[in-house]
Chains A and B, each alone.
Chain A
């Protein structure tokens, strides 16, 4: 249920004003990589963003995150025009889920950068691996206070000293 104060300012209506236009502006640079969003795609992305925010109990007063994700991922060799919009939907959902799971401790830009890095290198374009493996490890590292939390590589168990003997 929405808080009366948030309802009063009619956040949903006001937030969606001009957002679609802002998203469509990203086509200007994504076309360089052969990726384009239609007007319908942009509307659906706004809907997904709103649903993801609501599902994760968050509020955002701008379209900055969608644009940042497009900006970071549009040059990926693993994304094609065919799955461009659907990938963005999943990335948006993953992003807001991870904001909560990482206890809001990672800035937006850094989180998007880490997502892109894992997506490109460790997951080879697999969204399942990104969500189910890398992001979960990242969240666990944050929760356990691991200093190099962004290092999600499996650590090999060092043999006990006794075993060496």
Chain B
């Protein structure tokens, strides 16, 4: 017997309620079940129209009686968004419809606005907590999203545009229900981001940064440009560590670990696989002393989603796509500078050079270069701008990958047929003084490590031939 036949004639069917158009679907359901009379619905329609009329007057500062249809739609959506918010906060649909039955629409809107303002305050508090627990990772999407959330509160217009999510949110979450909008979405987003920051804080930051770098290298991308969720990478690798009997906060999964894991998992039935994963999750919580029940629930919900993916990956022998395997020791912060087509404008470059000049340490300078320069021409400009001095060059070259160094070196190879082209030289006649300075520094740097010198020169020669 279906649920429908068990329902009393005047009972609301929850399946007919759309939580993203709550009031409208409640009215429709009220009409079908007879809980709302035709007269009451007409009254609601008239009251909504009056509310819209008043809002239009406020919107135009009483200067215009008409507005563009899109504006009227937006204002109407905003009014209903606030009413939805208020009616949704009752514990049952019956209570929501009772409130709709007994109250004036303007009263419901006023209560909705009050509730929305409370949510704004709570979301601002959450943002503060997110900022306080922000991870020191180079992910641009993560950093920019948190910055953009601050701007949301400056631009959010609760009276006329409450349903609009005016923020540039690029950073993906483990669990993100994008069907919500406005302050409801922002508050949910911040709640989840706060939990994810809390989760990641249980892992060593340097391990997280190395994990990001290795992930970037795996796909030949600059790790700062990645549009990925850090908690996801961390959780998946933590799972692997526990499954190969390593400590949960060890995020390094070696090739040997990976093979061991693959052998162990592929022999399991689906049931055994589930049991093993959930017991591993318990171990992660226990080892890291994660006690927040909200965080437990959040990670568990994600695990429910992730588990079938992982199971299928084991079956399809594509487990390596789910986790980050450290195939060789990655140099710390090995950024890929060169990315064709992303040259900065002169103004942007000037600003970056000014910023580098203002830095006190070489680390700060290197961080700016890594996060902002993605084109070899820009890099050459920065090197020749007298904003980096003496030994600072070595520190910056240290942080560069072989490929980037080879691009710089390719211009220094002497290609004369009479010359052994494994020797790096500078064309003093045709090189400007500022270029001469950093090129000398590069040659000196490479000459201190002969193995690296050979490797880079070979790579540069390959690049020229290519």
> Chain A residues in contact with chain B, CB under 8 A?
3-6, 8-11, 14-15, 53, 57-62, 64-65, 96, 99-100, 104, 107-109
Query: Chain A contacts of B60 at CB under 8 A?
Result: 104
CB-CB < 8 A to B65: which residues of A?
A: 60-62, 64-65, 108
Query: Assuming the A-B contacts A5-B80, A61-B52, A61-B53, are A104 and B45 also in contact, with contact meaning beta carbons closer than 8 angstroms in the complex?
Result: no
Pick 25 A–B contacts, CB within 8 A, sort by A: A3-B76, A5-B73, A5-B80, A9-B45, A9-B48, A9-B52, A9-B76, A57-B68, A58-B66, A58-B69, A59-B66, A59-B68, A59-B69, A59-B72, A60-B66, A60-B67, A61-B56, A62-B65, A65-B66, A99-B66, A100-B68, A104-B64, A104-B67, A108-B65, A109-B63
B66 touching A96 by the CB < 8 A rule?
yes
Known: A5-B80, A10-B45. A57 touches B69 (CB 8 A): yes
From 56 to 85 in chain B, residues with beta carbon under 8 angstroms from any chain A beta carbon are 56, 60, 63-70, 72-73, 76-77, 80
Q: Are the C-beta atoms of B45 and A59 separated by less than 8 Å?
A: no
CB within 8 Å of A: which residues of B? 24, 45-46, 48-49, 52-53, 56, 60, 63-70, 72-73, 76-77, 80
Residues on B with C-beta less than 8 A from A60 are 65-67
Which residues of chain B come closer than 8 Å to A100, judged between CB atoms? 68
Most buried by B among A6, A8, A64: A8
Query: Roughly how many angstroms separate A3 CA and B63 CA in the complex, as a whole number?
Result: 24
Instruction: Tell me the bound Cα distance from A14 to B76 in angstroms.
Output: 15
Closest 9 pairs (CB-CB, A-B): A107-B63, A60-B66, A61-B53, A59-B72, A3-B73, A64-B65, A5-B76, A58-B66, A9-B45
| Residue contact B69 to A8, C-beta cutoff 8 Å | no
Q: Considering the chains assembled together, what is the distance between the CA atoms of A104 and B71 in angstroms?
A: 12
Q: Which residue of A lies closest to B80 (CB)?
A: A5
What is the total of A-B residue contacts with beta carbons within 8 Å?
Answer: 69
Binding site secondary structure of chain A: helix
* Cα(A107)–Cα(B65), bound, Å: 9
For A57, what are the chain B residues with a Cβ–Cβ distance below 8 Å?
68-70
B63 touches A108 (CB 8 A): yes
Which residues from chain A contact B56 at a C-beta distance below 8 Å? 59, 61
CA distance A9 to B48 in the complex (A): 7
Q: How far is the CB of A130 from chain B (nearest CB, A)?
A: 20
List of A residues within 8 angstroms of B73 by Cβ: 3, 5-6
Q: Which has the most chain B C-beta neighbours within 10 Å: A11, A53, A58?
A: A58
A62 to B56, CA, bound (A): 11
- Other than the known A59-B69, A108-B63, what 14 A-B pairs have Cβ atoms closer than 8 Å? A3-B69, A5-B76, A6-B73, A14-B45, A57-B70, A59-B56, A59-B67, A59-B68, A60-B66, A60-B67, A62-B65, A99-B64, A99-B66, A109-B63
Do A6 and B64 contact each other (CB < 8 Å), given the known contacts A14-B46, A61-B52, A62-B53?
no
Kindly report which residue of chain A lies nearest to residue B56, judged by CB atoms: A61
Given A5-B80, A6-B72, residue A58 in contact with residue B45 (CB < 8 A): no
Q: How far is the CB of A79 from chain B (nearest CB, A)?
A: 23
Q: Which of A11, A59, A65, A99 has the most CB of B within 10 A?
A: A59
A100 to B56, CA, bound (A): 16
Q: A14-B45, A61-B52, A61-B56 are in contact. Are A6 and B69 (CB under 8 A)?
A: yes
Asked whether, in the complex, the Cβ of A8 is within 8 Å of the Cβ of B68, the reply is no
Nearest Cβ on chain A to B56's Cβ, whole angstroms:
6
